Structure 1
Amino acid sequence: MDAVEPLPALPLESWRPTKETLHRFAQIVGKVALAKGIRRNHWWHMTYRLTARGWTTVPLGSARNGPVFACTFDFFDHVLRIATDRGIEVEIDLPMQSVATFYGDVMTGLRDLGIDVVLPHPHPFDLPDAARPFEDDTDHAAYDPELAQRAFRVHSQVGRVLEEFSATYSGKISPVQLFWHTFDLAVQRFSERQIDMPATVDSVTREAYSREVISAGFWFGDAKVPEPTFYSYIAPEPAGLTDRRLPAGALWVPSGSGHAAYYPYDKARLSPDPVGAALEFFQSVYAAGSELAGWDAAQLVCWGGITDPVLEAKHSWPEWPE
């Protein structure tokens, strides 16, 4: 692994079996967070945050009946570590585990820590085997430690890119977070506009898109998009969005009821300035979307994380956000 490479290579096919197993591991623990987290707007309580060694849930549990705990994937020790505010923890190995054995170990570990968790639907979400309970999945059992660590390295670097992009916006914005259901790393910028949806729209979608949002993110690829890809979209999509030009190599593609902008990770990775190329892509979609949707972008701008105009005047900012 090249420690100085801004965006390390990770072709989807090189680690697909590990990815498919790890995605299901992430969903198991993500459903624990969904069950035991304190609900936050847009589902922010059940996502993962990046650490220097892997992913972690936010603190889970209640002040009323505890314990407070967190679940952390460590891609250097290759364990899931469940630790409580009472100073005790359990570790569950990631290698040599099927989804079934991992699920059993997680539920046993939680019980051993005095944490009572019942998952209402202990099945994969929106995956080909969604009808099969986790406890019956002995097919997904691949975990290559080197590839898992390399994938985390990609997440770590992309997370820094998304944090840098986030630092230019002073409005309502999500953390940089890993959504375990779709396995994408993303950050969302919101306006105050409330979105009316038909009563038939499911509760997950209603909460995720209850406000107008511009999302920027990355996924490793899947059957529909078979390569690592940066993406960005605005929901609801304003008229004329796909007429706006994107940086070289990026394109608008149909997605759901609208479109998303895709920029292949490898195009950014092989450019002279990989980080700058990714930032230019994200900014181009935000600039187009926010203008067409009528956002006050000038009021919301926040170069370098500074909102005070006196402090801002003392700094010079890069060319890419213009």
Structure 2
Amino acid sequence: MELFPPIPLAEWQDTKETLHRFAQIVGKIRLAASPRRNHWWNVPFHLTGRGITTRPMGQVDGNPAFTIDFDFVDHKLAVTTLDGRAVSFPLLGESVASFEAKTLNALAALGVEVDIAIPRPFDLPDGSRPFAEDHEHATYDPAHARRYWWVLSQVALVLEEFAAGFSGKTSPVHHFWHTFDIAHSRFSGRRIEQPAQVDPVTREAYSRELISFGFWFGDNTFSAPAFYSYTAPEPAGLAEQPLSPASAQWVARNDSHLAVLPYDSARAESDPRAAVLAFYESAYQAGAVCAGWDIAGFACPGGTTDAHLRAPGG
């Protein structure tokens, strides 16, 4: 299978907008049915061999333990309990409204009771419209959905490889239903006091200094898929630091800067995987140098922290 197959936003935007809202519905169920983790790490999706999963949840809230999985091979949503009971339905032909109703009905059939606190999109243009009233978003192209999962899976493996080189606190490689991106973050350990007016989601997400790395499929403000990185809070001089490969650049966004490597530029490199790894490493060095991180102390060559194991014959 081709590494990083083409996925221009314009070709699948209608499917993407529908899938994004499907994911937000399931993500909000995950938010309601799982113990809270620092930086909201309990909430994102993880990759599987057939799609994406919530991972097991429930139990602590009185519900049976259950998972919700998007299957992009057979193109269905499956709700499964720990005792093996399952309810599924096809993704093709569903509007956001009908998808929400069928998902909640599947949960009820398995004895799961979950209250979605705010049953409408988060930070999307139609954020004031309840999911139950959204009959507009109803496009699901199986080929595009499968391509989305392929790209996510390939990027996840590159991020896992990059993550191995850091021994400090790191996030999982996970897929956020908020912005529909896949990301991994490294932390220095420094506490960050957010201004009082900052919203609760942002306060928890950025309560510690971090450098984040990821990939998104594009949106209305940035219309092409791209690999990215940012440092938060942004240190002075960040956007003056070099990036690799040559096609990477700093992009001003919301009073800060993103390091951006366009997806198609990475695809055009002789070794796309190496180009993306070099991009992430250059963005890390830029942020870590400017913010004064202990780069040598956080280093984890070959994914090991024991110098004996890294020695010849170790």
> Which TM-score applies when normalising by structure 2?
0.97
Secondary structure at 1:170 match in 2 = coil
Within the alignment, does 1:34 sit opposite 2:25 as a pair? Answer: no
Question: Percent same amino acid among aligned pairs?
Answer: 54
> Out of 266, 277, 280, which is 2:278 matched to?
280
Number of residue-to-residue matches in the alignment? 313
The code of the aligned residue for 1:189 comes to: R
Residue matched to 2:302 = 304
Secondary structure at 2:188 match in 1 = strand
> Out of 250, 264, 270, which is 1:266 matched to?
264
Residue matched to 2:44 = 47
Residue matched to 2:175 = 178
Q: What pairs with 1:8-23 in structure 2 (closer than 5 Å)?
A: 8-23=5-20
Contact 2:51 2:69 in 1 (8 A): yes
Residue matched to 2:66 = 69
Contact 2:33 2:61 in 1 (8 A): no
The code of the aligned residue for 1:57 comes to: T
Contact 2:45 2:55 in 1 (8 A): yes
Within the alignment, does 1:250 sit opposite 2:248 as a pair? Answer: yes
Between the aligned partners of 1:144 and 1:125, the Cα distance in structure 2 is 23
Aligned-pair CA distance for 1:184: 0.4
Q: 1:64 to 1:222 in 2, by over 3 A?
A: closer
Which residues of structure 2 form unaligned runs of 5+? none
Secondary structure at 1:20 match in 2 = helix
Contact 1:71 1:80 in 2 (8 A): yes
Contact 1:38 1:62 in 2 (8 A): no
Residue matched to 1:88 = 85
Q: Which 4+ runs in 1 deviate beyond 4 A?
A: none
Between 252-261 and 60-69, report the one with greater CA deviation: 60-69
Within the alignment, does 1:226 sit opposite 2:223 as a pair? Answer: yes
Aligned-pair CA distance for 1:44: 0.6
Which residues of structure 1 form unaligned runs of 5+? 316-322
The code of the aligned residue for 2:190 comes to: R
Deviations 1:284-303 (A, max 9, x none): 01011111111111111112
> Which TM-score applies when normalising by structure 1?
0.95
Between 210-219 and 290-299, report the one with greater CA deviation: 290-299
Contact 1:69 1:85 in 2 (8 A): yes
Within the alignment, does 1:7 sit opposite 2:4 as a pair? Answer: yes
Secondary structure at 2:290 match in 1 = helix
Secondary structure at 2:49 match in 1 = coil
Residue matched to 1:150 = 147
The code of the aligned residue for 1:307 comes to: T
Aligned-pair CA distance for 1:305: 1.5
Between the aligned partners of 1:193 and 1:92, the Cα distance in structure 2 is 46
Between the aligned partners of 2:29 and 2:248, the Cα distance in structure 1 is 37
Deviations 1:243-293 (A, max 9, x none): 101121111111223111111001001110000000100000101111111
- Alignment RMSD: 1.3
Secondary structure at 2:269 match in 1 = coil
Contact 2:80 2:87 in 1 (8 A): yes
Aligned-pair CA distance for 1:151: 1.1
The code of the aligned residue for 1:261 comes to: A
Secondary structure at 2:88 match in 1 = strand
Contact 2:63 2:113 in 1 (8 A): no
